[in-house]
Homo-oligomer: A and B are copies of this chain.
Amino acid sequence: MTRGVVALAGGVGGAKLALGMSIIQPVGKLTVVVNTGDDEEFFGLHVSPDVDTVMYTLAGVSNPHTGWGILDDSYRILDRLKSLGVDSWFNLGDLDFATHIMRTDMLKKGWTLSQVTRTLSDALGIEHRIVPMTDDRVRTVLSTDVGELPMQTYFVKNQCAPVVESIKFEGAEDSVPSPGFADALEFSECLLFCPSNPFVSLAPILSIPGVKASIEGFGGTRIAVSPIVNGTAIKGPAAKMLLELGHDVSCVGVAKQYVGLCDIFVMDNLDESLCHEVEQLGMRVEMTNTIMNTEADKERLAQFVCDII
């Protein structure tokens, strides 16, 4: 395992396995490529929810209770903005604000999101490489029964309640993979689909022109870990979206998203009865306990993945 792993991740679920991988992989051998389709401006500041979740998780400062933000953060600025009359359905802590202020300032000065992410990662003491999927603007927009909603509006403001009819990635057609993503795709020996939402966390990454073709022609092992266990999502709307978009509400429905892109599908012991269905999609199945509650769980699942490689 000399050429390393490129892990594709969205928010919380992806960050958990990325953390496990970061503990096991030697420095320089892990690149976490993160969805930026959720990026949005709040209060005029550029927020990259998934990038921040992965950074904070790998830095050991994430808030495990919320799944976003920084542990023990305060809310002085947000409260103040509210008292000044600012609309604020999106919550940001004070320390989190510092990240967004710095990112916005650097972007305004002409730095790329990759450069900003590298600077922030370094400042947070993260030794592994975290890269945004692209430095271009790609925006995940959901068509729902209450109209078109950008991802964070659907996810936070509407609490995932609207029925999703279709999903588009605005700007994707004009985007290119970030330099770090392109490099990792070319030189890694393992590609890992983290247990993130296939539709709004990993599909945006796959929507970037050239990425699917690169993964189809990828020289190493391609592994996916299912975010769906026993028909439900560990966190977030993945199961609800599978249903609403007309797929099997199971790990089989997830595996179908990765046909031609994945060699080995890691699913939970609880889903043993579905093993054969996944194998019929052309993937080898590996089973283990995929639920990650503790740090030890994350490291154990990451070790399981590394052992496969």
Query: Hey, which bits of chain A sit against chain B, CB under 8 A?
Result: 43-45, 74, 76-77, 80-81, 83-86, 94-95, 97-99, 101-102, 104-105, 108-109, 119-120, 122-124
Contact = CB atoms under 8 A, between A and B. Distances in A.
A95 B98 CA distance: 13
B108 A44 contact: yes
A84 B99 contact: yes
A43 B80 contact: no
Given A85-B119, A85-B123, A77 B94 contact: yes
22 contacts: A43-B101, A43-B102, A44-B105, A44-B108, A44-B109, A45-B105, A76-B94, A76-B98, A77-B77, A77-B101, A80-B98, A81-B98, A81-B101, A81-B102, A83-B123, A84-B120, A84-B123, A84-B124, A85-B119, A85-B122, A86-B105, A97-B97
Contacts of A95: 76-77, 80
Q: How many copies does the complex hold?
A: 2
Nearest to A78: B98
Main secondary structure of the interface of A (DSSP, over half): helix
A187 to B, nearest CB: 29
List the 8 closest A-B pairs by CB distance, nearest first. Answer: A44-B105, A80-B98, A84-B123, A76-B94, A77-B98, A81-B98, A85-B123, A80-B95
Q: Which of A74, A77, A120 counts the most chain B CB atoms within 10 A?
A: A77
Given A43-B105, A44-B108, A84-B98, 11 more contacts: A43-B102, A45-B101, A76-B94, A77-B77, A81-B98, A83-B123, A84-B102, A84-B120, A84-B124, A86-B102, A97-B97
A53 B84 CA distance: 17
A43 to B, nearest CB: 5
Contacts of A119: 84-85
